[in-house]
């Protein structure tokens, strides 16, 4: 949950004072007042779908893991 939502919930639902919200969150009273008066909605950022750097080697790594699983406990690589 975002910080703006936490501040609003404390102020509106729990009816806490700005000073008490400041104590609980560690933010200054000026910052809390600014967020409450702004009336803005917390931005929702979407992360683009990216491939992993390991995707190119996934087949090779899976093969290595299968061969290691077939070995006895003392002959497996542990690192």
Give per-residue pLDDT as tens, 31-44.
999 988 987 776 67
Confidence at residue 69, expressed as pLDDT on a 0 to 100 scale = 87
CB 13 within 8 A of CB 21: no
Confidence at residue 20, expressed as pLDDT on a 0 to 100 scale = 95
Q: Which of 17, 46, 44, 49 is nearest to 33 (CA)?
A: 17
Longest dimension (CA), the chain: 65
The torsion angle over the Cα atoms of residues 61, 62, 63 and 65, rounded to 10 degrees, is 90
Confidence at residue 22, expressed as pLDDT on a 0 to 100 scale = 94
Tell me what the pLDDT averaged over the chain comes to.
86
């Amino acid at each position: 949950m975002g910080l703006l939502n936490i501040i609003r919930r404390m102020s509106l639902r729990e009816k806490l004072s700005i000073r008490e919200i400041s104590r609980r969150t560690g933010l200054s009273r000026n910052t809390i007042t600014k967020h409450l008066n702004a009336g803005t909605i917390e931005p929702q950022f979407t992360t683009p779908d990216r491939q992993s750097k390991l995707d190119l080697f996934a087949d090779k790594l899976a093969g290595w893991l299968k061969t290691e699983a077939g070995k006895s406990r003392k002959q497996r690589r542990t690192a």
